[in-house]
Amino acid sequence: MQQNSIYKIILIIISIALIIVLVHKSNNQIQQQSDSEKVTIKVSNKQKSNPEEITPKVGIKQKLESERLTTKAWIKESDEKKKLFSEIFNSSSEQNLIDPQTILQTASFMIQETDEFDPKLINFVRSLIHKPSGKQLNLDNKNKKDFSQIGQSHYMDSLLGKITNGFFVEAGGYTGEGFSNTLFFELERQWTGILIEPVPSLHSIIVSKNRNIYSINACIAKKHPIVSKFIRASDSALSGRLSEMSQGHSNRVGRQFDIIYVPCFSLNTILKAIDVNKVDYFSLDVEGGEWDVLSSLDLKNIDFRSFSIEHNGETQRRDQMRDYLINNNYKVPKMDGQDLYSIKNNL
């Protein structure tokens, strides 16, 4: 028992040190950008490595040693440690809305490269999920039915044959009302589902809407849990994962933004946490990370019946996702300038 406790303490210390390395590096980069009076975000859709994430692939031990942040060094309290620790969890008003223990525990799972179906991980993710409210809806526009941006809800409703009592997943939940591709199904077809939103203040708004859904303040990882760097525009609700954001979206975010470190879990983990193995409609809009999410799905063990996936006119990415779906027994009846729509061949 004592040995297990010591092991857990060591993992937490390593997690703290690792996050500090990332934030310290990030702060240096931001300072350099400020000195040049220009913030430039460079994103490559073909980039395979991901320097903006805390990732075990670079070698935890080597990274810590290169920064001279060994486990032993962080056992002793110091003013420098307190200062850097404070920088992590007080980097922005958005960051203050995320429980530091959530970040530390996610980092611990990340360091161990915990399997996405590990029972301890699933229990942890389950503890982060907000359950359906059971309360009366609290919408700003009570008379509206289709809240989607360009009619995605009505098209998908027709494609699915107006079925009732289905289950949806919406990645990029925003406020849970504005631009929602799923609220129509809840109001008009008696569906439920889960909304996944990485920006904590937006997730708080989702919770305040009292929707009959699950929700989680997180982003979607490929497989293992990670802590990922997000930015959010200071003067708007635009946000995105820095390593995956399209150039057009990063330009819209602009020069003034907040940095948020967000826990990320695979969709397979999230669905397992709520015992769901059938998804009637998956609305995927994560500003550039759609391919990574789509290609990580467990299509053999989870029945995804249909998709609408944003591509924002990036034809190479759109065609890659279209071909992948076709090769996995889906048809793609429609692609417009913004979204790709897909449904299983046998439906």
pTM of the shown model: 0.76
What CA–CA distances, in Å, run from 138 to 175, 184, 207, 277? 12, 15, 10, 29
Say if residues 248 and 287 touch (Cβ distance below 8 Å). Answer: no
| pLDDT by position in tens, the chain (length 347) | 555 555 555 555 556 565 555 555 444 444 444 443 333 323 333 333 343 444 444 444 343 333 333 334 433 455 655 555 566 677 688 888 999 889 888 988 998 899 999 999 999 999 999 999 999 999 999 888 889 989 999 999 999 999 999 999 999 989 999 999 999 999 999 999 999 999 999 999 999 999 999 999 999 999 999 988 887 665 545 444 444 444 444 444 445 557 888 999 999 999 999 999 999 999 999 877 899 999 999 999 999 999 999 998 889 999 999 999 999 999 999 999 999 999 999 98
User: Quick one: pLDDT at residue 104?
Assistant: 84
pLDDT the model gives residue 92: 80
Q: Which two tokens stand for residue 65?
A: 């040693």
Q: Does domain 1-347 have CATH number 3.20.20.20?
A: no
Q: Which residues are registered as beta bridge partners of 53? A: 228
pLDDT at residue number 58: 42
pLDDT at position 230: 82
Distance CA(40)–CA(25), nearest Å, equals 16
120 neighbors 306 (Cβ within 8 angstroms): no
Mapping DSSP to helix (H, G, I), strand (E, B) and coil, where does residue 283 land? strand
Paired tokens of 61: 């031990």
Check: CB of residue 119 under 8 Å from CB of residue 127: no
Cα separation values, 212 from 86, 133, 137, 200, 209, Å: 37, 6, 8, 19, 9
Q: What was the pLDDT predicted at 90?
A: 72
pLDDT of residue 282: 99
